[in-house]
Chains A and B, each alone.
Chain A
């Protein structure tokens, strides 16, 4: 693969029309909340941009993130991601295997030191020397630390890489952590979601190629343009929430009428993602549209935030047992302290000397 090739040359080779490319750029501009005029600028920048080398490391993951990117059922703009970059290593997608595969990674790391993008999906296990996930006999931690050294930036794709995800869920037997827990000296951009929205990955890459820097991030390292609002903010069922119309079960009248799923545990109000606007499967729908509440998969610890079916206003922990215990302890303290108080009263009563008229 030629590392000096520009994206324009690449598109030409692939026979992609300028019209289709502009359409992609317009979509990107809109997703990144840029004015429509920015589309042309993006297009011009992208055409000239050198396709960066990308090393994609997959750790403790389910390949769902890669699936999300590659398994769009119709040709989509998202597929353009593979035209924008030079994917030099991705052990699921690459044809090479064994030493050949590892060599391409080592070559890229060497040739593009300080310039390549490192994409990570999956979390990194730390327990027991990291033995729970190894590639070519090396631990994920080892591979990550090595690859991070020469990376211009790291893109943590999916909730596992971004926040630890499901491997990190209690009791976390492998000691799984997020990329940002290990790498402290490189810019990291988190594209969370289980899986993340493919267009968001593309958007971030487009932004990087266009402006040569990472987009503005929120406190969790996620691009604000995609994670700035909650599902609830943009949900088409929001009017029902405001009117107090809630589905009480998945097959009641409220559910059939498309009422708000808050009481069925929808995490939309606290979940930052673009599902409600970008949607899935080529803009077909998103979970709430299919009648199920949001699971909150783009937020840290979403697996441990209580049941998916517990309303946000309800406690995520058991209160009954602890309250019963507290009642017993409270009663015990009351009995003990009141015994002391009664004894004090008794003492004062015993010490009481009758008031006589002489003393008045």
Chain B
């Protein structure tokens, strides 16, 4: 398979496979979790579940409990990484082209310079978080191979994206192929690793908010 064929494959069939695995896996995981069900709560409610559940879904994004310096580090790096990743993913014009072709609509792009700075900050935050994962006794204890695997899978599209954009190493075509492959690996891995938290975070928050909401507590 020559490069052109490889590019055609990753832009076509490869992306189809990745999208199919991603969608299949995500629908399966989310539905499977939901269908596990929970017992009807027979206690007399003091509050409701839905409202507080929905509130916690977004409210938990803002840390409300006092943080230690260690906590600040995790939250701030985590924020830079998550926001940076999303901005890079959603606001680079080439990525918007992709979304437009899939969803039929697009949105204004940010300038490539801004995206590059964001991506560099994101990479820096990710490296800082990796070092912290390895050196912080708590995180080191609770980490398993998956934490390092998913870090790598998330890091590679960012790195290859920057290299593609800046023309560092390999030609445009090779780097584009590598970049798309890293994205596809990320998509395929997401439903079956802790990356599934991109969805379960919100259902978990809903349950947390709902459990407390039932008791009339805002969390």
Contact = CB atoms under 8 A, between A and B. Distances in A.
Q: Decide if A and B touch, CB cutoff 8 A.
A: yes
Interface of A: 219-220, 230, 232-233, 242-244, 246, 262-263, 269-270, 299-302, 304-306, 310-320, 322-323, 325-327, 329-331, 333-335, 337-339, 341-342, 345
A230 B111 contact: no
Contacts of B171: 230
A317 B12 contact: yes
Contacts of B22: 326
Nearest to B191: A330
B172 A230 contact: yes
B21 A326 contact: yes
Interface stretch (B2-10, B69-77, B210-218): B2-10
Given A244-B109, A333-B28, A317 B15 contact: yes
Interface string B146-187: 000000000000000000000000011100100000000000
21 contacts: A219-B3, A244-B93, A244-B112, A262-B97, A270-B173, A304-B8, A305-B4, A305-B8, A310-B101, A312-B11, A314-B97, A314-B98, A314-B102, A316-B11, A323-B20, A327-B23, A330-B27, A333-B32, A334-B30, A337-B32, A342-B35
Contacts of B8: 301, 304-306, 316
Contacts of A323: 19-20, 23
Given A306-B11, A313-B97, A323-B19, A341 B36 contact: yes
Given A269-B176, A314-B101, A306 B28 contact: no
Interface in B77-126: 93-95, 97-98, 100-102, 109-113
A46 B113 CA distance: 50
Interface in B183-209: none
A322 B20 contact: yes
Contacts of B95: 313
Contacts of B94: 262, 311-313
A334 B12 contact: no
A233 B175 CA distance: 14
Nearest to A262: B94
Contact of B36 (A219, A300, A342): A342
B176 A270 contact: yes
A299 B20 contact: no
A220 B19 contact: no
Given A244-B93, A311-B94, A317 B23 contact: no
B175 to A, nearest CB: 10
A269 B37 contact: no
Contacts of B173: 230, 269-270
Contacts of A310: 101
Contacts of A304: 8
A123 B17 CA distance: 32
B25 interface: yes
Given A338-B32, A341-B36, A327 B24 contact: yes
B38 to A, nearest CB: 11
B4 A330 contact: no
A263 B98 CA distance: 10
Given A242-B112, A300-B4, A317-B16, A263 B31 contact: no
Nearest to B20: A326
Q: Shortest 7 CB-CB distances between A and B: which pairs?
A: A330-B27, A334-B31, A338-B35, A314-B101, A313-B94, A326-B24, A311-B97
Contacts of A233: 172
Nearest to B174: A270
A323 B16 CA distance: 8
Given A300-B2, A319-B16, A329 B24 contact: yes
Contact of A330 (B31, B93, B100): B31
Nearest to A312: B176
Contact of B93 (A263, A316, A334, A342): A263
Nearest to A304: B8
B26 interface: yes
B101 to A, nearest CB: 4
Nearest to A320: B102
Contacts of B20: 322-323, 325-326
Nearest to B31: A334
B13 interface: yes
Contacts of B25: 330
A301 B112 contact: no
Contact of B2 (A219, A313, A317, A329): A219
Given A243-B112, A342-B35, A322 B172 contact: no
Nearest to A345: B36
